Amino acid sequence: MKRRILLSVVVLLLSAFNYASSQDLQLNDLEYFETQGVNVLVYNNLFTGGFNDEKNAGIEMIHHGVRTSQGGAVRLSNTPEQWDLVPEILNRKVDRASKTIEATLRYKEYDFDSRVVVTPKGKGLEIAVYLDKPLPKALEGAAGFNLEFLPSQYWSKAYLMDGRYNRFPRYVVGNTVTRPNSEKPKQFKGFNTSDDRGTGKFIDPLPLETGRTILLAPDEPERLVKITSQDADLMLFDGRVLAQNGWFVVRSLLPAGKTGKVLTWTVEPNAIKGWTREPNIGFSQVGYLPAQPKVAVIELDKKDKPLAKASLYKVGNDGNVSEVFSGKIAPWGNYFKYHYVKFDFSSVKAPGIYYIQYGNVKTDNFLIENNVYDKITDATSDIWIPIHMNHMFVNEAYRVWHGEPFKEGYLQAPPNSDHFDLHDQGPTTDTKYKALELIPGLNVGGFFDAGDFDIETGSNINVVQNFVHTWEYFKPLRDQTFVSQQQRYVDLHRPDGTPDVLQFIEHGTLNLVAQAEILGHMTQTLSNAVLDNYHHLGDAASITDGLPYNPNLGPYEVAPDGRSSGVKDDMWAFTSRNPNLDLRAATMLAAASRALKGYNDDLSARALQQSKRLLKEATELLANQPQDTSRRAWGAAADVSTNLQLYISTGEQQYANKFQELLWPALDRNVNFVLLTALNAIPHMDAAYKEKLRPYVVKYNDYIKGLDKDNPYGVPIGLGNWAGNGAITNFGTTVCFANQYFPDIIDASHAYKVTSWLFGCHPYHNYSFVATVGATRPKATFYGNNRADFSFIPGNVAPGVLFRKPDHFENYDDWPFLWGQNEGTIAGNTSYLIFGSAFKNLLK
């Protein structure tokens, strides 16, 4: 029996590795290891000091086009969570002579350094860990080398540990133990990290398997990886035990009391012989107008020889398919990792159902029709936005999206408090309230920021401004949502006689005016005090118990009158004053006051009063404090917009004069950043103003032309840690308004590039980035508050394709937990609402 099992394992291994390419991994010019089908990045992307472990850093493997593993580093726990300590990378050395990449990792909290050296070894790599000093006592049994693998690419596939068969679980099923908190190494930065419900213990996952050789996915050659450890056991963990965004972790502990080369792994990713990435045909999932430009961008493996032609097929009313157009492929060139060609089928104008065929690859179907863009913003305005209304019970038919959150209100954040979402309370409260004192009246209005349940004040300011612009320029009368501030109740798909956008303006303004009136200025954020509450996935109303904290009660005790409790789960208001934020609020409140006039006159008057006060005080504060260049530019741009909005609201010439005084220098500094504000002023200024703006529009058109040379899609693609759809939608909005006022300079065709990008013509895949908006394949998973269900909220707009240095774009559609590519935000989605409205107006 043992011989039979051994023989079957040998046969399986031989058959799996028969796929392997004859090419060894090579150190390329971009300083990572490569063979066709496999890229191994070694600290090209570093851990951050903000959210620590974003699953985007360390030693990363891009395996047959998909980044399937990451995080390779010395870590201090079996399955690190997002806010666990990460190593600082002190240096990264590339030695071309020895073909090695080396990095020094430091945990300053323990005065602990290690060196990781990666060297090609045949079809794989040797990863070695060196210590110049023995492990600190506090890290014995805790420090180990981890490499993490993407669950969605491995679940339900087989693995072998020392020849023992098993299968990666689709849903987390691992075993755990509980240990005293005193046994856990210090992992966090010092903020209030968790509520252990008084147990004083933490959960520690146990390994699924232990051995010296693990073979991942021998039944799937594209994902097959072999790892061998010479010095210590390999342990396989399921990180989803502790957090839904956890990955499968292969880990070996570092030995105590040793120095030098203390751990050696051999990692052999399989490379399928002759593999090339399947062409990605970028096209608009929504479809095309008969008369608009229609250009598909085809993304090719650089080793894939471009074909001469592509074809367009039409699906007849009888179900039969016929080729209606065949056109030449136009080369564009290389852009980062891939080669790009274009297929122009603009000449096809007949309405119908179509798909594109390029070689053996065909797209999903799409429409050519006059109404394809009519509903592109409906899901966002009807569903996503009202679901994100805070302090309201939100209902949809038989479903409750969330109950009324945070009935107990908000406590004053204590001075010198660090928050886990990049906020902090300074040395004073900047308010009349004492630390942890209840601030009455803030639990009204406002919108959840994104995939979490805080009110990010800066985002909410943008949101109300976006709603006001949408209302003033396009007057959308769409009414599909019931909103009652008195009942604190929202019901989707139930008209109530009032345009939804007007009710959204009111809801956002209620919270921001409350902040200005009660605190005297804007908060940084209204957010969770406890990390366990912050990463809560579920009904927002269940984050807290709805009762104000009473320090006179014991833990989890409820007062006899039922009006307070001893649970420290209340939300905090972070109130350190930022005059730049106040200036932006002044802009928004001035605009909101106009929109609300005649609908909620009391709120309108209060908003205008606070706008004038905040403008005056913020201007004085900014004049008396030094600022860095970036803040000064941002503040100047906000000041330009504030004076414009106040002029439109009041008609007072002083604001118009100040607006123009500030505008032209701001345009000289950065025309891209300020042009949209300048265009928004045209209806309120004289003809001379428009003519003076003309040269700046010409300059902007030169920028647009440069985009066609920069990348094959002709839009501003972001290369930061947050994908660039926000910048692209803002670009599209600017193009729409510039074309409206200067059609002789800015061509409307550039706006179609933005819709094509958003709805499928982009790198990595061709799914629509807007949930439920697209023909047959919009994105299916997003980083929303229902991400644990691998689901989406209709109308959500993903950030887009995320750039991973030095040359990789990605957007996971089977793994929602990377916010930089999958988390729609309230500011971003309302920017999309403006763009969609401006684009539909352009079509008229």
Per-residue DSSP letter, 382? I
Sheet architecture: strand order including 455-456:
438-439, 410-412, 571-574, 525-527, 455-456
E-assigned strand segments in 743-824: 802-804, 808-810
Cα separations (Å) of 789 from 97, 152, 227, 768? 49, 13, 31, 20
Q: What is the DSSP string of 502-562?
A: HHHHHHHHHHHHHHHHHHSS--SEEE-SSHHHHT--S-GGGSS-SS-B-TTSPTT-B-TTS
In angstroms, the CA 117 to CA 103 distance is: 7
Answer for the pair 74, 87: CB distance below 8 angstroms, yes or no. Answer: yes
Cβ 69 vs Cβ 147: under 8 Å: yes
Instruction: Give CA–CA dist 551/562, Å, rounded.
Output: 15
Ordered alpha helix ranges (H), 686-825: 687-710, 725-741, 749-758, 819-822
- The DSSP result for 574-595, as a single string, is E----HHHHHHHHHHHHHHHHH
Angle between helices 629-650 and 653-669 (to 10 degrees): 150
Query: At a CB cut-off of 8 Å and minimum separation 6, what does 253 contact?
Result: 141, 143, 144, 232, 233, 235
Residue of 396, 582, 813, 823 marked active site: 823
* Cα dihedral: 827, 829, 831, 832 (round 10): 170
Catalytic residue among 219, 601, 668, 814: 814
What are the backbone dihedrals phi and psi of residue 152, each rounded to the nearest 5 degrees, phi first?
Answer: -65, -20
Q: Are strands 410-412 and 571-574 parallel, antiparallel or unpaired?
A: parallel
Enter the tokens of residue 85. 């300590």
Measured CA to CA, the distance from residue 391 to residue 695 in angstroms comes to 47
Q: Is the alpha carbon torsion for 572, 577, 583, 589 positive or negative?
A: positive
Assign residue 658 a region: left if phi > 0, alpha if psi is -120 to 50, beta otherwise?
alpha
CB 78 within 8 A of CB 205: yes
Report yes or no: 828 and 453 within 8 Å, Cβ to Cβ: no
Q: Is 823 a catalytic residue?
A: yes
Give the up-direction half-sphere exposure of residue 476: CA atoms within 13 A in the CB hemisphere.
28
Residue 391 tokens read as 């302090």
Q: Is 212 exposed, middle or buried (0-12, 13-18, 19+ CB in 10 A)?
A: middle
Query: What's the token pair of residue 480?
Result: 């599909």
Q: How far apart are CA 302 and CA 65, in angstroms?
A: 12
Closest CA to 783 of 535, 603, 577: 535
Residue 642: Cβ-neighbour burial (10 angstroms; 0-12, 13-18, 19+):
buried
Dist. CA 559–CA 513, nearest whole Å: 33
* C-alpha dihedral sign at 175, 178, 183, 185: positive
Element (H, E) at 181: none
Let me know if 209 is a catalytic residue.
Answer: no
Helix (H) or strand (E) holding 837: helix 826-843
Alpha-carbon distances of 778 from 167, 383, 821, rounded to whole Å: 30, 16, 15
| Active-site annotation, residues | 814, 823
